[in-house]
Structure 1
Amino acid sequence: MIKHNSMILFEPKRPYQEIGLVLRQQLIDGLYQVGERLPPERDIAEQLDVSRTVVREAIIMLELENLVEVKKGSGVYVLNIPTTSDSQENIINDDAGPFEMLQARQLLESNIAEFAATQVTPGDIVRMRAALELERKEFENGTAGQEGDEKFHLCIAEATQNSVLVEMLKYSWLRRQHSPMWNKLHSHIRGVGYRADWIDDHAKILSALKRKDPIAAKNAMWQHLENVKQRLFELSNVDDPDFDGYLFSSNPVFLVDQDK
């Protein structure tokens, strides 16, 4: 728990909520005025000794409260000052931060891909190819649809022949689709050009699955979702559009050495 002078009436459940409350209290205390720019994320992260992804998610929390406004390439500006009478129960919900969601997907789906490589059938490969082709068509048409992307990941889960893993995968996607935090993050991202790299990642995953190589499949999926995290972090950055940001201070899982 990060200590500060304010009294927390509602215990935050997630790291970004804790940081969001600290920043919120700074607004109440008059540290920043309406129209004033908040310090860069990098400075806030260093001051509070947390990662920039947690600060990014805390800013999104304040956006959803209409307390700050994010201006791409300019920074975060104060829109409104909260009052101490505001109920924190109404402020904090149980929504996970977008980068926390991606980290969970990385852990889940890399292991799903590993197991799928041992169970995959020719029919599964056909369905994956169709999903990848749909994804390519969506990209070529310049649409924001993600039907092909979701189908591709779902086909991999289905290739495990394990209904529980399929349901876990579906739940993670459903939760993302209905997440105010996730949708607010994407409101700062323009265009779909970045998805070309993700299609290439999917092709590598498919290749590993076709070879029935579990280690290569796991590593390819892990790297794909790492690429997604980093690209979304860079694209949604408001302080420095060219910043080559990190996501988490360390990865909880290391890639398996394919030479062993």
Structure 2
Amino acid sequence: MSEKPVSLLGRVARPRLYEQLMKQILSYVESEQLGPGDHLPAERDLAEQLGVSRATLAQALVALEVLGVISVQHGTGAVLVYRPSIATVLRDLREHQNRLPEIVEARSTLEVKLAALAATRRTDEDLAGIEKALSVMEDEVGKGDRGAHGDELFHQAVTEAAHSPVLAQLMTFIAEMVLETRLESLGQPGRPEQSLASHRKIADAIKAQDPDLAAAAMQAHIELVSDVALLK
């Protein structure tokens, strides 16, 4: 009795829901002939039309924002930046997904060390900069925004407090890539509040001049913000 031939065909991966939503949103953009500067429907209306929760829709919108297709501003909604083909967006999404783990790895390597150095080298002026960044993010989150600007200011303030020009230069080099993970992370439901609380722990350790605690707090923060839908 002959053995069954081994199949060379693998299982076809099922598209994630947010990928399907991205396709539907782009199809809508095409059918409505929307151009740069045009607004997409409000999130509530769009979620209802697509039959999904606003949280699920937010994942698709964040992915499109990271890829530069739309711009999302608190109070104004999603605005089309350019109208790409669906194939182009899906290709860019795959490339982005492959790059994300390396971005997380780079952040962990650089920012954990920067936090430890900041705890050792910070000045009163540096602490004021860190507190100011926390206040900005708290204000943004309190208004229902994602707090992306305050988040960026906080990490910049920690980098400055480390007083390490070479590490600061490396952070500048990966700044655009870090922005991708920032937008994705803060787009997760409840994440802005969690991220703000995580920032406070880092700030407290730096203020206490405890490098080990600052490093551990920063590592925990990066693990938190790296929990994004695009990596699942």
Output the TM-score relative to the length of structure 2: 0.57
Deviation of the 1:171 alpha carbon = 2.2
Counting aligned pairs with the same residue, the percent is 27
2:191 to 190, 194, 202: 194
Deviation of the 1:93 alpha carbon = 6.5
Given that 2:134 and 2:150 are in contact with CA atoms closer than 8 Å, whether structure 1 keeps it comes out as: yes
Is residue 2:14 matched to residue 1:38?
yes
Alignment correspondent of 2:220: 223
How much is the aligned-residue C-alpha RMSD, in angstroms? 4.5
Q: Which amino acid is 2:158 matched to? A: I
Alignment correspondent of 1:160: 162
Q: Distance in 2 between matches of 1:92 and 1:213?
A: 40
Q: Distance in 1 between matches of 2:188 and 2:133?
A: 24
Q: Within 5 Å, which residues of 2 pair with 1:16-35?
A: none
Given that 1:205 and 1:220 are in contact with CA atoms closer than 8 Å, whether structure 2 keeps it comes out as: yes
Deviation of the 1:103 alpha carbon = 2.3
Alignment correspondent of 1:49: none
Is residue 2:153 matched to residue 1:151?
yes
Q: Distance in 2 between matches of 1:150 and 1:138?
A: 12
Change (3 A) 1:160 1:91: closer
Give the 3-state SS of the residue equivalent to 1:142 in structure 2: coil
Given that 2:134 and 2:196 are in contact with CA atoms closer than 8 Å, whether structure 1 keeps it comes out as: yes
Alignment correspondent of 1:53: none
Alignment correspondent of 2:171: 169
Q: Distance in 2 between matches of 1:190 and 1:203?
A: 19
Q: Which amino acid is 2:14 matched to? A: L
Deviation of the 1:175 alpha carbon = 2.8
Alignment correspondent of 2:108: 106
Q: Distance in 1 between matches of 2:93 and 2:114?
A: 35
Give the gaps of 5 or more residues in structure 1: 6-24, 41-55, 74-79, 83-89, 238-260
Given that 1:113 and 1:218 are in contact with CA atoms closer than 8 Å, whether structure 2 keeps it comes out as: yes
Output the TM-score relative to the length of structure 1: 0.51
Change (3 A) 1:97 1:118: same
Is residue 2:212 matched to residue 1:210?
no
Deviation of the 1:107 alpha carbon = 1.7
Give the 3-state SS of the residue equivalent to 2:146 in structure 1: coil
Alignment correspondent of 1:116: 118
Give the 3-state SS of the residue equivalent to 1:126 in structure 2: helix
Q: Deviations over 1:216-242 (max 9, x none)?
A: 000000001111112x24x875xxxxx
Aligned length: 169
Given that 2:100 and 2:231 are in contact with CA atoms closer than 8 Å, whether structure 1 keeps it comes out as: no
Deviation of the 1:94 alpha carbon = 9.0
Deviation of the 1:214 alpha carbon = 0.4
